[in-house]
Amino acid sequence: MKKLTFFAATLLAAWMLQACNGGNTNAKHEDAVDSAQAVNKETAPVDKESSDFAIEAANGGMMEVEAGKLAQEKATNQRVKDFAAMMVRDHSKANDELKGLAQSKNIALPDSVSGDAKDHIDKMSKMSGKDFDKHYIDMMVDDHDKDVDKFEKASGNLSDPDLKTWAGNTLPTLRAHQDSAKAIKESLKK
């Protein structure tokens, strides 16, 4: 009787797992950004605003590097290629600094770009020529406008002093990127 009850319970559990889609091997893995946020929520290494900023900065930095590498390959305009090389160099350096800081504070960071950023880069990889150049530079102007704003707020408002300082120290580089992207965008209109 015990074997029959155990067997019935096992079958019921398997059926429930399947019915709840637990057996779906095509289900997407949890987004790296969501995973990092969940870990930080659970462990609370710093306040939520500081850990959210670190996660967002890491995701954005990785996206800049991936998009920059793609632009170095696909761009046709030399200024766009040179800008992309600067993105890879400067954002890799900032990413490494942030990783070291996060590690010292036990802040979980994503190990890959978010699904949205990955989808965007995949779409960009299908573009070519002047369309690619224009799209990439438009994206860089928009991203750096948002980044400068976020880093300005973080450098003035974060409660974690180390992340606050890192944001402030990173701002001049982001502003230089913003200015360069805008200048290239204007030159592409001609």
Instruction: Report the pLDDT value the prediction gives residue 9, as an integer from 0 to 100.
Output: 35
Answer whether 67's CB lies under 8 Å from 87's CB. yes
Instruction: Report the pLDDT value the prediction gives residue 22, as an integer from 0 to 100.
Output: 37
Instruction: Report the pLDDT value the prediction gives residue 75, as an integer from 0 to 100.
Output: 96
Answer whether 146's CB lies under 8 Å from 77's CB. no
User: What mean pLDDT do residues 119-141 have?
Assistant: 94
Closest to 99 measured CA to CA, from 110, 114, 90:
110
Instruction: Report the pLDDT value the prediction gives residue 33, as an integer from 0 to 100.
Output: 66
Instruction: Report the pLDDT value the prediction gives residue 50, as an integer from 0 to 100.
Output: 87
Query: Residue 108 belongs to what H/E stretch?
Result: none
pLDDT in tens, 149-166: 999 999 999 999 999 999
Per DSSP, helices labelled H in 20-114 are 32-43, 48-74, 78-105
Answer whether 155's CB lies under 8 Å from 168's CB. yes
Tell me whether residue 183 is exposed, middle or buried, using C-beta atoms within 10 angstroms of its C-beta: 0 to 12, 13 to 18, 19 or more: middle
pLDDT in tens, 77-116: 999 999 999 999 999 999 999 999 999 988 888 888 888 8
Instruction: Report the pLDDT value the prediction gives residue 48, as an integer from 0 to 100.
Output: 83
Three-state DSSP state, 7: helix
